[in-house]
Amino acid sequence: MFKSDNILIVGLGLIGGSLAAALRRAGHYQVWGYDRDADSMAQAVRDGVIDIAQQDLHAAVASADVVVLAVPVKAMESLIEELAPYLRAETLLTDVGSVKGNVVAAAYRVFGTPPGGFVPGHPIAGSERSGIGAVNIDLFVEHKFIITPLPESDPQAVAVLAKIWTDAGSDILTMDVARHDAVLAATSHLPHILAFSLVDTLASDAENKDIFRYAAGGFRDFTRVSGSDPVMWHDVFITNRDACLKTLDQFTEGLNVMRQAIVDGDSQTMLGIMTRARVARHHFEKILAGTAYTEEDMSSKTNFDVAPGGQVQGRIRVPGDKSISHRSIMLGALAQGTTHISGFLEGEDALATLQAFRDMGVVIEGPVDGKVTVHGVGLHGLQAPPGPLYVGNSGTTIRLLSGLMAGQQFDVEISGDVSLNKRPMGRVANPLRAMGAKVETGDGGTPPLKIFGGQQLNGINYQLPMASAQVKSCVLLAGLYAQGETKVTEPAPTRDHTERMLNGFGYQVAGMAPTRSLVGGGQLTATDIDVPSDISSATFFLVAAAITPGSDLLIEHVGMNPTRVGVINILRLMGADLEVSNPRDVGGEPVADLHIRYAPLKGIHVPEEQVALGIDEFPALMIAAACAEGTTVVTGAEELRVKESDRIQSMVDGLITLGIDIEGTPDGAIIQGKSGQSSVFGGGEIVTHHDHRIAMSFTLAGLRASAPIKVLDCAHVATSFPGFVELATSVGMQVTSVEE
């Protein structure tokens, strides 16, 4: 039975001292300290970092419940050997070393079979300072602690260690030893090698010394870690030699490519490297935040403060359509030739698609001001990505990509952020398996998805069990790689961008809704795409104008795909004064300008055939319903329960907070409108569950509110609608984005 009453920390430097201080603060541990330097021990007692300084290391080890080795990694090896005879069967022995391979190897050498109480670990927090004077009681708060248990480690000892570090403020992760050392070589050790080397190279040149005087922020940021402790990092580079060399060699190769491009004046290569890096940095930050030493403050939150009242006046253009942006990258990448895209939505979701194809070797320039150039590689030209494809929060990316990946020759893993990793993927995995694909999902049918390459796909005749454009598209895209005909029949109309755009790229999709089909083995041809504005984004402004007396708004160049115009039909049924003008055709997709003025709205039973045509628009439409006269009934919208949040519940909870009489049903809601009153909504705090559409919908409520509304957790608005707050303010809405 492993206990943690008495914890001995060996090495009272930055990490050991900070852990000691944090555990003392937790209140229920006796924290003992040992350091070979008597002055450090005395200071640790004086500063209240430890309860008791232990002079006799061996005796202290013999009576401690937990022994934490917090010395430089090379020193761990001899220390384990020295302390082994004094450990009891129930002593928990752990360490904090930045490299795990050598510590584990030392344990096998010393013990033969390491005891169950040996559980190595590594806090992903630190600084370039060292010694007892650098102690920081909050060092580990909201930082990761990686446990690298051995097969011999006792699960109860692992649980005790996890509890200790949780009490120090850390979030616990588990990894195997080799993976830990490889990941840290790339994310931590290589940057330290580069920083030490760069500063030394510049400083050892007498002439160059002078340039430090002119060094600005970039130089300081890049080289900050060269102020770190040389002994500690010497030990890290020596003990993690192989992984460090591997990543250093990869880096050197990349650097040589950049060098040659500069020699040759090869702008395309240089811009390719830099645009890829710029986008990747954003993604890597998210993936690796948990494994970077000094990460940005991930706890900061974005809320919207909405003041009551405001106007909706003017002429605006909203960002490009997300669905079309996704597909223009996907189909452009798989086409023969070069596709030029304009009006591309530079939101995180579409950028996730863009990054996924870059990871698979496609050269993509931009985006710059919505312009992207995709150098297609053909249907069979994708390459295996270097690691799992990370698609952030984007359900469209993971579902459409899974169809394409089923037809590749290589294996792929696709994963997303916490919210995406809870969404159902069985709905795409099942038809893909029926086509002959080998697909594994995580527990409960959620991501990560593992798709194994080299499978022979066969066309199927698939009756979609739910109205979902993503599932339909997934099956059709897999059909590009299947033998014979792939046919899909949908239970209700859904977006047909994939079908239209496949035709636009010269790939014939036959039949009429609800049944469409294509035959595998063809070819896509590059084309130019001017992405229409997103009707889902336009919806927030349509509803804003529809509910605000005196409003008059023109929204230009909106995509009017017949499978997306549910919101227009529904608003008109509710009595909105909405005019569609200047209809035209852009790249196979219909486009028009929308002119909307305030008119009193009335409650309706929303026709179910319109529901699928406007499913994403329901959060905003529920705000409109609250402002209408009479009751609005929504049915047949169960799909809303499995979006970025359970949108029915999110809207019910938020509207009740603002004083609206609403009842959620399994497939919709019943909303009692409050027309005739100048203020429809009260004030309050809205929980969005990080769902961007919920956040933007409740922002509209401010236009008819009597008191301020605080909309919490709005950071995801940038995913679908970059510049939302600025555009809303420009038409007269009173919303401010506030970082907490």
Instruction: Please tell me the distance from the alpha carbon of residue 109 to that of residue 103, in angstroms, as a whole number.
Output: 10
Binding status of residue 229 toward ligand NAP by CB under 6 A: yes
Contact criterion met (CB below 8 Å) for 702 and 304: no
Q: Is the dihedral of CA 122, 128, 133, 138 positive or negative?
A: negative
Instruction: Please tell me the distance from the alpha carbon of residue 412 to that of residue 453, in angstroms, as a whole number.
Output: 8
Quote the tokens at residue 312: 């909706």
Of residues 52-71, which lie at the interface with ligand NAP (CB under 6 A)?
A: 70-71
Decide whether 11 or 732 has the Cβ nearer to ligand NAP: 11
From 154, 616, 691, 713, the catalytic residue? 616
Binding status of residue 72 toward ligand NAP by CB under 6 A: yes
Q: How far is the CB of 283 from ligand NAP (least distance, A)?
A: 25
* DSSP per residue, 105-117: HHHHHHHSSPPTT
The only residue of 49, 60, 83, 232 in contact with ligand NAP, by rule CB under 6 A: 232
Q: How far is the CB of 20 from ligand NAP (least distance, A)?
A: 11
Is the N-terminal amide bond of 447 cis, ω within 30° of 0? no
Instruction: At 325, give phi and psi (nearest 5°).
Output: -60, -45
Contact criterion met (CB below 8 Å) for 602 and 574: yes
Radius of gyration of the chain (CA): 30
End-to-end C-alpha distance for the chain, whole angstroms: 43
Decide whether 35 or 154 has the Cβ nearer to ligand NAP: 35
Binding mask 237-276 for ligand NAP (x = CB under 6 A): ----------------------------------------
Instruction: At 481, give phi and psi (nearest 5°).
Output: -100, 0
Decide whether 143 or 516 has the Cβ nearer to ligand NAP: 143
Q: How far is the CB of 76 from ligand NAP (least distance, A)?
A: 7
Stretch of residues binding ligand NAP (CB under 6 A), selected from 31-39, 81-89, 274-282, 354-362: 31-39
Instruction: At 150, give phi and psi (nearest 5°).
Output: -95, 165
Residues 6+ apart with CB under 8 A from 703: 309, 310, 312, 544, 547, 548, 733
Instruction: Please tell me the distance from the alpha carbon of residue 333 to that of residue 350, in angstroms, as a whole number.
Output: 14
Binding status of residue 12 toward ligand NAP by CB under 6 A: yes
Q: How far is the CB of 60 from ligand NAP (least distance, A)?
A: 13
Of residues 288-317, which lie at the interface with ligand NAP (CB under 6 A)?
A: 293
Instruction: Please tell me the distance from the alpha carbon of residue 525 to that of residue 506, in angstroms, as a whole number.
Output: 6
Whether 616 sits among the annotated catalytic residues: the reply is: yes
Count of residues touching ligand NAP (by CB under 6 A): 27
Decide whether 75 or 524 has the Cβ nearer to ligand NAP: 75
Binding mask 94-113 for ligand NAP (x = CB under 6 A): --xxx---------------
* DSSP per residue, 543-589: HHHHHSTT-EEEEEEEE--TTTTHHHHHHHHTT-EEEEEEEEEETTE
Binding mask 564-593 for ligand NAP (x = CB under 6 A): ------------------------------
The only residue of 13, 308, 347, 431 in contact with ligand NAP, by rule CB under 6 A: 13
Binding mask 115-134 for ligand NAP (x = CB under 6 A): --------x--xx--xx---
Decide whether 98 or 223 has the Cβ nearer to ligand NAP: 98
The only residue of 4, 7, 11, 567 in contact with ligand NAP, by rule CB under 6 A: 11
The residues that are catalytic are 616
List of residues contacting ligand NAP (CB under 6 A): 11-16, 35-37, 40, 70-73, 75, 96-98, 123, 126-127, 130-131, 229, 232, 236, 293
